[in-house]
Amino acid sequence: MHDRVWLELGVVDRVHGLQGAVVIRLARNVPLAIIPQISTLFIQSTDTRVPYPILRSSPPTQNGMVVWLDDIKHRDQAQKILGSSVWIQMSKQLISSSRSSLESLTDCIGFRIQLVHEASEMTAHLVGVQQLPGQIMLEIEEAWGHWLCPYHPSFIESIDPIAQILTMNPPDGLRDLYYSDHEN
C-alpha cells in the first residue's frame, strides 16, 4: 500500500435532505477530475479515519458536492459527522492522471518556487519529491540549503507549467525551522 497517499478532500459542511446525504465543502485546489474515480471517503473521527463507501454523489463543483454514504441513512446520523475532515486515499498514478487540475508533482521538479507570503525574487527550486509512509514531501532547495514541505493540495496556490513556477503557501514557520538550523 506504499504507492498510496492520503489527501484531504474537504470538510462535512452540512446535511442535505432527510435521508442522510451530506455536503462536502472541498479543499482548495482539489483536482475535480479525480472525484468520479473515488469509491470510498474516510471521515476523521478523533485519531482514526473511518471508511464510508459512496453510494452515489452529485457532480463536484467548486462549492462542493453532495454524497450519500453507506451506513448513513438518516439526518440524525449525518449530523454526527458535521465538521469532520474528509480524506481520500489515492495512488500516485491517480495524482498524475489529474493533469487538468493539478500537474504531476514529479513533472514539477526543477520549477522555481514562489512563496505567497514573500514578494522577494524566486531563488528556491523544487528539487525532489519523496514518498514517505503516509505523506508526500516536497524537497525545496534555496541558496542556504534544503528544506522539506509536506504536500497538501491547500499548500499549492498555482502551477504555471509554461513559466515553470510553483506558487506555494506552506504552513507558517515551517521554512523558518529549517532556515534557523542553517544559520548557526
> In the structure grid, which three cell numbers stand for residue 30, read together?
482539489
pTM of the model: 0.51
Judged against a pLDDT cut of 60, whether residue 4 lies above it is answered with: no
User: Could you tell me the pLDDT band of residue 57, with boundaries at 50, 70 and 90?
Assistant: very high
What is the DSSP annotation of 22-85?
EEEEEPTT--GGGGGG--EEEEEETTEEEEEEEEEEPPPBTTBEEEEETT--SHHHHHTTTT-E
CATH fold for the domain made of 4-97: Elongation Factor Tu (Ef-tu); domain 3 (2.40.30)
Q: Which residues pair with 56 in a beta bridge?
A: 68
Nearest CA among 155, 146, 154, 116 for reference residue 128: 146
> In the structure grid, which three cell numbers stand for residue 141, read together?
532547495
Residue ranges, CATH 2.40.30.60, the chain: 4-97
Q: Are 90 and 4 in contact (CB under 8 A)?
A: yes
CATH architecture label of 105-183: Roll (2.30)
Q: Are 34 and 19 in contact (CB under 8 A)?
A: no
pLDDT per residue as tens digits for the range 160-173: 766 778 888 888 78
Average pLDDT over residues 133-150: 84
Cell 492520503 belongs to 6
